[in-house]
Amino acid sequence: MRTRPSPISSLHRGRHRGVPGPVRRTARCNPRRLGVLAACGLAAGLVVAAGTPAIAATQPEVTFTLLTPLPTTLAVGETAVIGVHVESSEPFAMAIALSDAYYPGRGVRFDGSSAQAHATSADLYLTITGTASTAGLPAVQNWPVDEDWDAGVLPLVVRAGVRFAGGYVASTAYLFGVTVS
C-alpha cells in the first residue's frame, strides 16, 4: 500500500524546484543609518566620559593622632579616656571611633562610640571602664592578625575611620592589652 506524501514535505520539495513561496528578505546595511548610529554612539561616549571623575584624582590626605596614652592596667570601677584626633585635607562625611575586644563584655566596658560628621578635623573620645578581673583569661594567639597576648591580658583595639562623599575610606587601628585587677 502506498501512502500519500505529507503536505509539508511537498511544500519543501516545491521550494527547491523554484515554486514561489514566501519571499525572504536579507537585511541591508544602509551607510547613512550606520553613520548616524556611529555619531550617536560617539556623542554618548563623550558625555559619559565628561561626567565621570578622572581616574587619577587625588585622594584626601588623612592623619590620625592618638591624644591620650592607651591604658595598660585598670582597677575594677576605674575609667580611662582614649582620644583620637582626625585631620583631613578635604571635608569628610563622617569620622568615627569604635572599640573591639577579643572577649567582648569581659573585663572592661566601652561606653558607645564617638562620631562627627561634615568637618575636616575631629576629636573622638571613647571611655573604657574596668568591670571585672582579667586574671582568669587564657592567652590569646594571632588576634587580630599576628599579635600574641599573655594570659590575664585582655586584647583590645580602638579603630578610627573617616568616610568621604565619593566613597573613599581611611582608617587606623590602635592595639593594646589591658589587665584589670
The domains found in the chain, sorted by start residue, are 62-180 (2.60.40.10)
In this prediction, residues 169-181 reach a mean pLDDT of 96
pLDDT tens digits along 98-147: 999 999 989 999 998 999 999 999 999 999 999 999 999 999 999 988 89
31, containing H or E segment: helix 31-51
Specify the residue for cell string 571585672: 132
Contact 152, 134 (CB under 8 A): yes
Task: Point out which residues pair with 92 in neighbouring strands.
Answer: 119
E-state strands within 9-72 = 62-66
pLDDT tens digits along 24-58: 555 555 666 656 556 656 566 655 555 555 444 68
Contact 150, 144 (CB under 8 A): no
Sequence letter at residue 76: V
Average the pLDDT over each of 33-42, 82-91, 168-177 and give the range with the smallest value. 33-42
CA 41, 47, 50, 55 torsion: positive or negative?
negative
Residues across the chain: 181
Contact 157, 100 (CB under 8 A): yes
CA 109, 111, 116, 121 torsion: positive or negative?
negative
- Write down the pTM of the prediction: 0.67
The cell numbers describing 148, all together, are 600574641
Q: What is the pLDDT of residue 145?
A: 84
Q: Is the pLDDT assigned to residue 20 strictly greater than 70?
A: no
